[in-house]
Each structure stands twice: as structure tokens, then as C-alpha cells.
A and B are shown apart, each in its own frame.
Chain A
């Protein structure tokens, strides 16, 4: 039986701007609500402070980097320490540069307007997430079908 695929969603820490807060909340939404059984994440700074276990992260899981601003820390750090990401989200492309670059927001001050931004970003993550899942399913089906030609998962060889 094929191992169930999980996807890593790696968010920037987001202390410099609102886009970072939205990144964090959208990533948490993936973990809590949208794809709770299939989403994994780690703290981005663990890539530097952590050991091999953390750095194996993106080698083990397909990853989507979610960045609040064009410094693209999540994408750059993941690719520097672990490997190429499978998807990227730049929040400023979704909510606009000016809004994204405004001051970082406490979760205490999140408004309905901010929540709408979170939902939009989470929707984009979901789109990329599902595309990766679908591509993986097709690959698995393809490799099973070609392994011995009878879709037996290799058991008749």
C-alpha cells in the first residue's frame, strides 16, 4: 500500500510586515482546518538552529513556501537547507504590495478584512497543495501500472 503523502507548508515568520502575519495565519488554517491530515510544517528558523532531522524536512515532504514579502525567506531558507520547493506563494501578489508591506499585526487585532486576506491566501495554498497531491497520485498510479503490468502493486513478480 502506498504511503500517504503529506505536504509541508513553510511560512515566513513575518515580524516585518502584515504579509507575514497573513502568511502565518493562512498556514495555520491549512493545518487546523483545510487539510489537517495532510499538512505538516516546521518553524523556519529550525533550519539553522536545528539538526539533520529538520533539514531532512523538504527532502522528505513536497513543500510549499509561503512568504509575506519579496525577501522570500521561506523559499530561500528551505531551498538553502533542504531542497527545491514544489510551490511558492507570495502574499503580496495576492493582497497587494502596499497592504502586504504595512506593519506586522498582532493576532489580537485581526479584523474581518484581514480574515478575508487569510482566506484568499489559504485558497491559493490549497490550489497548489491539491495540484501536488494529484500529480503524486498520478505518478503513483503510473509506477504501479508499469511495475509489472497488472496493477498488483508488484505482488505477482
Chain B
């Protein structure tokens, strides 16, 4: 990757479960606040439609996927289109480190939920920095 190329951080954005919302919020925090100069996101829905512009934005590009559920829509969809997946995060796995936490609903997160989102975003940020470092 070139020094100026941004890492694609692509969440599943699941509508039905809180873990999808957490994936989305972690991605938005990473690309919007933590490292906007090194990372950007794309709508997974746009990727899924098979649009040529979306495919070109992913094909061969360094990507991090974040999935809320075991169906792994983000990782699978990005892989199909040829994204260079550097890391696959699973919110469900991360939740195992927070037993008993009540993150909220698919509509709204609780304080617990936001705390975990911020931790995921910090991990994403760290990984983006590493990937960018590898590309130099």
C-alpha cells in the first residue's frame, strides 16, 4: 500500500442485534475521530450490491472487518470482492472478555456498550497504525 492509502475499516452494521450497532459505532469512531487520516469506511451494503465503484474501492486494498454475529457478513463480503483482509474482528468474541456487561439494544447503547465500543475502536486504531507502518 502507498503511504497515503487509507485502510478500509468495514463493519457489518447489523440492524437486528446490538453487536451490529457496536461494530458500526466502533468503525465510525475509528475513522471519524481516532485516525481519519489513515482509515476510512465504506457501506457494506454498497459493497454487497456489486457496484463496480465499490468493488474497485476494496479490491486489493488493506481492510479490517468488524462483524457482530457469526454469519460474518463483512469478512465474507469483503473477501469475495478481493479485499486484502488484514484482520477480522468479531464483536461476539470481544464480548467474552466482558462477561455480564449489558451493552444495550440494536437501537441504543448503554454506558457498558459505549465503553466496549471505545475499547474496540482503540484496538482498531492500533491495528490501523500497524498496517500503515507495514506499508511504508
Q: Which residues of A contact B (CB under 8 A)?
A: 11-16, 20, 24-25, 27-29, 31-32, 41-50, 71, 73-74, 76-77, 80, 103-108
Contacts and interface: CB of A to CB of B under 8 A. Distances in A.
Nearest to A14: B43
Contacts, number: 111
A27 B107 CA distance: 9
The 3 closest A-B pairs by CB, nearest first: A13-B13, A45-B73, A49-B73
B71 A11 contact: no
A149 B47 CA distance: 51
Interface in B65-117: 71-74, 76-77, 80, 105-109, 114
A15 B29 contact: no
B15 A77 contact: no
Given A41-B15, A44-B15, A45-B48, A16 B76 contact: no
Contacts of A45: 12-13, 44-45, 47-48, 73-74, 77
A15 B109 contact: no
Given A73-B45, A108-B25, 6 more contacts: A11-B15, A15-B11, A28-B106, A29-B107, A80-B50, A103-B32
A15 B25 contact: no
A32 B32 CA distance: 28
A25 B108 CA distance: 9
Contact of A32 (B49, B76, B107): B107
B15 A25 contact: no
B46 A24 contact: no
A46 B49 contact: no
Contacts of A28: 15, 106-107
B80 A48 contact: yes
B44 A13 contact: yes
Nearest to A24: B15
B29 A107 contact: no
A29 B109 CA distance: 15
Contact of A46 (B71, B108, B114): B71
A16 B15 contact: no
B25 A106 contact: yes
Contacts of B108: 107
B34 to A, nearest CB: 12
Contacts of A14: 13, 43, 45
B108 to A, nearest CB: 7
